[in-house]
Amino acid sequence: MKVIIAAAQTGGHINPGIAIANKIKKENNNATIMFIGTTRGLENDLVPRAGYELRTIEAYGINRKISIENIKNMFKTLRGLKEAKKIVKEFNPDIVIGTGGFICGPVLMAAKKCKIPTIIHESNAFPGVATKLLSNKVNTVLVGFNDAVKRLPNAKKIIVTGTPTKIKKINLSKEQKEKIIDEIKLNKELPIVLVFGGSQGAKSINSTLIDIIKNKTNNNYQIIWASGPKQYNVIKNSLKELKIDINKIENVKILPYIYNMEEMMNLADIIISRSGAMTINEIAITGKPAIFVPFPFATENHQEYNARVLVNIGAAKIILDKDLNADILSTTLNEMLKDKSKLLKMGDNAKKVEIKDVEEKIYEEIKELVKL
């Protein structure tokens, strides 16, 4: 089997693409898989690191406001369609798969012109522009949430598969939990609040946590905080100005990046994060109560729609970015932590949106189109 996967820019698009590629290779060791992306995004790191070939084309998202820059990007994307068509013809795949985002436009349209079967996978509860435009053109649309189905009424075929992720549920023993807590030098007795803002961090969440640390309002809980590599030194300097050593904060461990995220998510009592589709799925899998601060500039505000999937079933709280401050976050945290039975119920509610056997469902749809 020969497969092209279109995935670009953010981990939210690229990681599902890699997970799909890994599933294909697991089931069909002789499969040849190529990714198509841009020269500008995380695909240039993540795809080669995963062991797959990456070809790049020119492609840009289209801003609805008329501007010279937007017109230029439209012409560049049209050029990208020609580039994609050339790659598709040369590679001659059995199927082309897109995982959302603007890269899907030129690549999947090139595949359609070459009469090659196509699938688009949409992770978000509120589908992006590319998915909406392609939904009645591709053979199959796969979605991560039930909520997305009603928003794609013109799809030829739509299947709720869930979104693939590396995170799995682990039932950590008391000894395993204590070992992890010892390694990061935190307190075994206090509940753990895990905070992250995606691979790049989240400035508004970070500045709020600095205020919590400054005011010492986390006496009854401890924080494991992934600041994001680009933000770590900024935070370190901000704390230094407050005469606080980043490595010696009571009940707080700040890390540029968490490499053992599966362990940390399973360890945490509450998670505070942005609400990308991948994060929603990971929280559902691990069954954790959450506080979401949706990224306010996400396309069509899709992160708020994602967050409300869990908020609406009593599994999470939401604080809009514009409303976020140390007082509101501290109050919300303390209210959640004082009722342990309610906290456990929230975690159980989160599990209700987990979709089992995600990779298998996706692979079945691929097989059907490729006629394996």
CA angle (38, 134, 91) in 5-degree steps:
50
Question: How high is the pLDDT of residue 69?
Answer: 66
Do residues 48 and 197 both lie within one domain? no
pLDDT per position as a tens digit, 124-174: 999 988 999 999 999 999 999 999 999 999 999 999 999 998 889 999 999
Does a structural domain hold residue 113?
yes
Do residues 158 and 186 both lie within one domain? no
Mean pLDDT on 174-185: 93
Do residues 144 and 225 both lie within one domain? no
Q: Is the pLDDT of residue 175 over 60?
A: yes
Question: How high is the pLDDT of residue 9?
Answer: 85
Question: How high is the pLDDT of residue 298?
Answer: 82
Does a structural domain hold residue 167?
no
218: domain CATH number?
3.40.50.2000
Do residues 347 and 361 both lie within one domain? no
Question: How high is the pLDDT of residue 101?
Answer: 87
Domain of 181 in residue numbering reads as: 174-351
Give 112: exposed, middle or buried? Use CB within 10 Å, 0-12, 13-18, 19+. Answer: middle
- Cβ contacts of 364 within 8 Å, gap of 6 or more: none
Do residues 311 and 364 both lie within one domain? no
Token couple for 264: 């940390």
pLDDT class for 229, splitting at 50, 70, 90? Answer: confident
pLDDT per position as a tens digit, 8-37: 988 889 999 999 999 999 999 999 999 999
* Helix, strand, coil percent content, the chain, rounded in steps of 5: 45, 15, 40
Question: How high is the pLDDT of residue 339?
Answer: 93
Does a structural domain hold residue 63?
yes
Q: Is the pLDDT of residue 201 over 60?
A: no
Do residues 223 and 142 both lie within one domain? no
Does a structural domain hold residue 294?
yes
Question: How high is the pLDDT of residue 11?
Answer: 83
Does a structural domain hold residue 168?
no
Question: How high is the pLDDT of residue 26?
Answer: 96
Q: Is the pLDDT of residue 74 over 70?
A: no
Give 61: exposed, middle or buried? Use CB within 10 Å, 0-12, 13-18, 19+. Answer: middle
Angle between helices 11-27 and 277-286 (to 10 degrees): 60
Does a structural domain hold residue 35?
yes
Do residues 341 and 361 both lie within one domain? no
Do residues 204 and 337 both lie within one domain? yes
Do residues 152 and 25 both lie within one domain? yes
Do residues 208 and 149 both lie within one domain? no
Q: Is the pLDDT of residue 330 over 70?
A: yes
Does a structural domain hold residue 179?
yes
Question: How high is the pLDDT of residue 228?
Answer: 83
SS (H, E, C) 148-212: HHHHCCCCCCEEECCCCCCCCCCCCCHHHHHHHHHHCCCCCCCCEEEEECCCCCCHHHHHHHHHH
Question: How high is the pLDDT of residue 180?
Answer: 93
- First CA to last CA distance, the chain: 9
Mean pLDDT on 255-269: 93
Question: How high is the pLDDT of residue 282?
Answer: 95
Do residues 325 and 193 both lie within one domain? yes
Does a structural domain hold residue 169?
no
pLDDT class for 114, splitting at 50, 70, 90? Answer: very high
Question: How high is the pLDDT of residue 78?
Answer: 67
Task: State the total domains in the chain.
Answer: 2
Greatest CA separation found in the chain?
Answer: 65
Do residues 324 and 366 both lie within one domain? no
Question: How high is the pLDDT of residue 42?
Answer: 87
Is residue 209 a contact partner of residue 325, using CB atoms and an 8 Å limit? Answer: no
Is residue 44 a contact partner of residue 9, using CB atoms and an 8 Å limit? Answer: no
